[in-house]
Amino acid sequence: MQSPPLLLNSLQDPGRRLVRLQSEPHDPKNEAWLQELLYAHPELLPTEEFDDAFAKPVPIGREVPTARGPIDNLYLSPAGGITVVETKLWKNPEKHRTVVAQIIDYAKELAAWDYDQLCAAVLNSSRRRKETGAVSLEEKMQPALAQEGLPLHEFQENTAACLSAGRFLLLIVGDRVSPNIALLTQAIQSAPGLSFTLGLAEMKLYEVQPGQDWPLLVVPEVIGKTVEKIRGVVQVQYTQEKPRVRVDVVDTEVAPPSPVDGFTLETFLEAIPDDLKQTYLDAIQAWKQIGGSLLVRTKTLYFAIELAGQTQRVIRCRPYQVTVLREKQLDEWTGDPHLFPAYLEALQAAPVVQRSVREDRLWIDNEKFDADSLAVLFAAATQTIQQAKEAE
């Protein structure tokens, strides 16, 4: 059990322990209040502790309508990571029994959406709240994208990829989270095709001035998390009486590795599977030989190059997945109709990669290929871009 914060006025001050607030029936600090707090201050959400793809969440909707009920709070990161927040207060224990199934129902619904449906739901939410100013999804995201230096089309592609893969952060947040929530894992096995992470987080509320609502000290803490994999075998682990749930599976892991602070090329190479490291090093060397460069932004490694008068981010790599080239990209960059068929032909030695390109799937997870297939992916892209450069 953690000690409450100690408020000090000086080194000699004996200090005063802050009192943690307890939610009671008829308390004005209800679930709607907590939702509004998290919507106004998304930095309270400990998303980076789950996956860097969800870092720097931007609130895009409250009470977002879906066919399975309204989502309390919905967030998007500049990298396209989708965070679903469901709030539950300690004073409402009867709701704790259904919250896991409820939030996974939302994940199932979101996984059936495309990017346009998400935009429509966000706009609907904004209008219901009578928001002014930035009401559409892209208007809400524009400042964060500008700060990260990310183009809109890349954000759109990343978000669409997360939707189609069901890669979400499902976060149950409360002033206190019942340990029994972590035991309600049957619902997790009802969605084996989704690559979600389920997290439990507490917002510990402390009264700074006795008897006054403000100022308020809010201390976020992650108390449990799951890792969703291909086939579901639920394990419940206990640490200091706090359950930590993990959905384990034989063989390959779908979820990305733990977040890495100070993300650089070196930390990227440390985070990827060992059998792929040399392939990346060889690909980087070949890329630089054709005049390319590397960029690291928002936990993503980019293979970039000057093409068509602009810096194009040709290949995007995360520690757990990588992109392929798409026909529309090559058309925009070069206008040469022969490049894409040649690119497809160069992928023949890696059927899984070639199939992804034919099906217009942007991202491929590391679990889908070995080092040889990844080498083919890099070589085909490098060869294609070299031909485009030579034709300029």
What is the Cα–Cα distance from 49 to 365, expressed in whole angstroms?
Answer: 21
Average pLDDT on 258-281 reads 81
Tokens of 276: 């792929």
Chain segment 154-179, per-residue pLDDT in tens? 899 899 989 988 889 999 998 877 65
What is the chain's mean pLDDT, rounded? 83
What's the confidence (pLDDT) of residue 199?
Answer: 87
Identify the weakest region by mean pLDDT among 11-20, 107-116, 340-349.
11-20
What's the confidence (pLDDT) of residue 233?
Answer: 41
Tell me what percent of the chain is helix, strand and coil, each rounded to the nearest 5.
Answer: 40, 25, 35
H-assigned helices in the chain: 31-40, 93-96, 99-111, 115-128, 137-148, 152-165, 265-271, 277-289, 327-334, 339-346, 351-358, 371-391
Average pLDDT on 1-27 reads 78
Chain segment 381-391, per-residue pLDDT in tens? 999 999 999 98
What's the confidence (pLDDT) of residue 302?
Answer: 92
DSSP one-letter code for 368? G
Higher pLDDT, 187 or 215: 215
Most confident of 4-8, 223-227, 378-382: 378-382
What's the confidence (pLDDT) of residue 259?
Answer: 38
Average pLDDT on 343-369 reads 90
Chain segment 83-118, per-residue pLDDT in tens? 999 998 765 555 555 788 889 899 999 999 999 999
List C-alpha distances in Å: 46 to 38, 52, 303. 11, 10, 30
Most confident of 11-15, 207-211, 272-276: 272-276
What DSSP letter does each residue of 30-69 carry, written as one string? -HHHHHHHHHH-GGGS-GGGT-GGG-S-EEEEEEE--TT-
Average pLDDT on 368-378 reads 93
Backbone angles phi, psi at 16, to 5 degrees: -135, 125
Average pLDDT on 175-197 reads 61
Terminal C-alpha separation, the chain: 65
What's the confidence (pLDDT) of residue 248?
Answer: 41
List C-alpha distances in Å: 20 to 39, 58, 84, 175. 22, 28, 26, 10
What's the confidence (pLDDT) of residue 240?
Answer: 41
Closest CA to 91 of 139, 31, 43, 140: 31
* pLDDT above 80 (res 180): no
| pLDDT band at residue 369 using 50, 70 and 90 as cut-offs | confident
Identify the weakest region by mean pLDDT among 66-75, 189-198, 268-277, 383-392.
189-198
What's the confidence (pLDDT) of residue 155?
Answer: 92
What's the confidence (pLDDT) of residue 381?
Answer: 97
Higher pLDDT, 315 or 10: 315
% of the chain exceeding 90 in pLDDT: 45
What's the confidence (pLDDT) of residue 39?
Answer: 96
What's the confidence (pLDDT) of residue 97?
Answer: 58
What's the confidence (pLDDT) of residue 365?
Answer: 87
